[in-house]
Amino acid sequence: MSGKKLSYGANISSIGILENGLELQRPLLGTEIAAGFPSPAQDYIEANLDLNRQLILHEAATFFVKVSGDSMIDAGIYEGDILIVDRALPATNKKIVIAALEGELTVKQLHICKNRWYLLPQNDDYKPIEIDEDTDFSIWGVVTYAIHKLF
């Protein structure tokens, strides 16, 4: 990076970090839920599920961002979603990443083709961004989960 101050781009509205050692345990039902024809309900809880252990692989390298905008809706990422981002994972072809681009943070899908890098929005209303040697660019992390309300 060339020393520019980073700002939240058109589709990142805030950043948060994971508080070390924080557990978030909730009951886990002892049966899977049918998405087709309903099955009889099971009446017991099998165990507790810690969402941090379930959703976070590298605790010290994980942060959260809140999405602003609609450039990733075809990837199932919507305005107001919270993304879980892991800085320890490699940013490889077709991964959804948080990138610092010209001093602003953005979420896009990384495409690497014939030694050329592109940041692709997942909405036809937006154009791909080609990364060249003159682009002020770095990868901040790989998006592992998107959390959003269903209503």
Of 5, 13, 39, 71, the catalytic one is 71
Indicate whether 25 and 12 sit together in one domain.
no
Is 90 exceeded by the pLDDT of residue 131? yes
Residue with tokens 């087709």: 36
Indicate whether 78 and 131 sit together in one domain.
yes
Question: Any catalytic annotation for residue 7?
Answer: no
Per-residue pLDDT of 81-120, as tens digits, reads: 999 999 999 999 999 999 998 888 999 999 999 989 999 9
Is 90 exceeded by the pLDDT of residue 49? no
Of 95, 108, 114, 138, the catalytic one is 108
Q: Considering its fold, how many domains does the chain have in total?
A: 2
- The rounded distance, in Å, linking the Cα atoms of 66 and 79 is 8
- The rounded distance, in Å, linking the Cα atoms of 89 and 93 is 12
Is 90 exceeded by the pLDDT of residue 53? no
Is 60 exceeded by the pLDDT of residue 10? no
Indicate whether 24 and 86 sit together in one domain.
no
**What pLDDT, on a 0 to 100 scale, did the predictor assign at position 2?**
42
The pLDDT of 4-11, averaged and rounded, is 52
Residue-averaged pLDDT of the chain: 80
Indicate whether 122 and 132 sit together in one domain.
yes
Nearest-10 Cα torsion for 33, 35, 41, 44: 10
**What pLDDT, on a 0 to 100 scale, did the predictor assign at position 108?**
97
**What pLDDT, on a 0 to 100 scale, did the predictor assign at position 151?**
79
CATH number reported for the structural domain that contains residue 119 in this entry: 2.10.109.10
Question: Any catalytic annotation for residue 108?
Answer: yes
Question: Which range marks the domain in which residue 26 is found?
Answer: 20-55
Split at pLDDT 50, 70, 90, the class of 43 is low
